[in-house]
Amino acid sequence: MKIKHLFAMTIVMSLLTLNSIAQQSSHSDHQAEAQRHEGVNERGDHAMGFSHEKTTHHFRLANDGGAIEVFVNDPTDTASLDQIRMHLNHITKLFKEGTFNLPKLIHGETPPGVQAMIRLKSDISYEFENLERGARVRIATSNAEAVEAIHEFLRYQIRDHKTGDPLEVQKS
């Protein structure tokens, strides 16, 4: 009887230890993710020239590509509005050339889809557009491989910036 009791206690203690380790690991993973997100925001604020706290990003998937949109949260914040427009106009030109250094700088890695977008740059159009409270970069192509690369790139942005935007093409 004592051996069974000792064995049961050993199993219970082992399970409690494993549970504690799993919780510590989960907490550690959560902390690492929070630190990574904070780094993305800090590098993004520096590279883009405006605060992520004063603006809202959206990444939209479309049948022929998608869009990057940034809006000011406060319609009277003309300084951020000007910075948004300047930044998105700038990345439109860079992306047309096949230059994706800024996303790599902001995210600390080359986002998925970028290599194909560079290779297929002549098949992809990038159009800058001013919006009432921000700006948009519309990314479009008729090349199926390029569409998939654009979608990979935009999905990565949605996840890494934690925008909550849909990960699939939405019907208009």
pLDDT tens for each residue of 116-158: 999 999 999 999 999 999 999 999 999 999 999 999 999 999 9
Tell me, what's the pLDDT at 77? 97
| Predicted pLDDT of residue 23 | 65
19-77 pLDDT, tens digit per residue, is 666 566 555 666 666 664 565 456 655 566 778 899 999 999 999 999 999 999 999 99
Select the more confidently predicted residue: 122 or 105.
Answer: 122
Pick from 22-26, 63-67, 101-105, 159-163 the range whose average pLDDT is largest: 63-67
The pLDDT value recorded for residue 28 is 60
Residue 104: per-residue pLDDT = 82
Q: Of 156, 62, 42, which Cα lies nearest the Cα of 100? A: 156
The per-residue pLDDT for 128 is 98
Residues 164-170 have a mean pLDDT of 95
- Alpha-carbon Rg for the chain, nearest whole angstrom, is 22
CB 127 within 8 Å of CB 91: no
Q: Report the b/e string of 74-106 with b at 16+ CB within 10 A.
A: eeebeebbebbbebbeebbeebeeeebebbeeb
